[in-house]
Amino acid sequence: MTELCNAHTHLELSDLGRVCPQTPTSFPNWVGGLVWSVRNRKLEQYRAAVMLGIEALQACGTSHVHDITNTWVSVEPLLNSGLQGCVYLEVLGQKRERGLERLKEATGRITDLRRAHAGNPMRVGLSLHSTWSCHPDMLRQGAEWCRENKVPLCIHVAESPAETEMLLTGGVKELGWIRTQIGRSLSMLPMSAPRLRPVPYLAVLGVLDARPLLVHAVQVDDEEIDTLARARCAVVHCPRSNALLSCGRMRLEAFLAAEVPVYLGTDSRASSPDLDIRAEAAAAKRMQTGKVDAEKIDAMLAPLNSEP
Ligand SMILES: [Zn+2]
């Protein structure tokens, strides 16, 4: 295959292999460790990590990448890398006013970048970080803006059992040391709960109308898979990250049966042993043995064709 797509990365974390668990840990525990390890990080460190990440992608023959950048420093290096795909400027925030302000800043920057780099094979999009880390008005307005302006949108959704618990109850029992170590700087704190599971929550907010690229989609039932199929959303499967963060096995066979397009992503070096998408495919084959044929998993290495 000449084209090889890694559909989910965070290249600005490519130097954080030390944060990647050696054996499975819980998602809240991992988030706590990650936030702690980047607490004093400088933008130059993020920039250097992006360059490391781009080198790693090119070294294993990757032609396409879909990268999320929380600091927005990945944008310029990726636009200049010759790689194809999309770089998504990420926003998050549980506080409404601050979150919407950040969203406005992002949409302005994305508009400028898309105008200045219209012919670039690397597109520029928006990432609303996740269901639990963005105020509902950010999710609603961000998705609406993407839909109206035909801008690619990417969201982490239905990743961990903790996410579902948070949305249903407003809190996560297993915060323990995380809260005492990190306190208010960690967004994973009790919020006003929509009392909906992740996929129905996005559907009710109208987010699925923007046909976002949905990352993980592990904690889903059959009805929710049907919802995603009807919304014509694509999903990204990151099996090694899911295993290391105890998120469970994605029901790949059910997504394929519902004809939902599925792609493979490594996720960041903070939750993946490397950025080699062929190694991810090999892991997917091991984890999905008896459920999904190997050739079907190989087909998930192709570039995305479901653009908004
Ligand atoms: Zn991710």
> How do residues 15-44 score in pLDDT, each as one tens digit?
999 999 999 998 888 988 898 899 899 999
Catalytic residue (choose from 12, 159, 163, 165): 159
Boundaries of every domain in the chain: 5-301
Distance, CA 170 to ligand 1 centroid (Å)? Answer: 22
Contact predicate 186/162, CB 8 Å:
no
Distance, CA 198 to ligand 1 centroid (Å)? Answer: 16
Distance, CA 268 to ligand 1 centroid (Å)? Answer: 6
Tens of pLDDT, residue by residue over 156-197, are: 999 998 889 888 887 665 554 445 444 444 444 445 788 899
Cβ partners under 8 Å of residue 78, min gap 6: 11, 50, 54, 65, 67, 87, 122
Fold of 5-301: TIM Barrel (3.20.20)
In the structure, ligand 1 is a single-atom ion and the residues with CB under 5 Å from it are 267
Q: What share of the chain has pLDDT > 70, as a percent?
A: 92
- Specify the pLDDT at position 31: 87
Active site residue 295: no
Three-class SS string for 39-60? CCCCHHHHHHHHHHHHHHHHHC
Distance, CA 241 to ligand 1 centroid (Å)? Answer: 9
- Specify the pLDDT at position 181: 46
Distance, CA 1 to ligand 1 centroid (Å)? Answer: 25
Cα distances (angstroms) measured from residue 165 to each of 179, 190, 222:
17, 11, 19
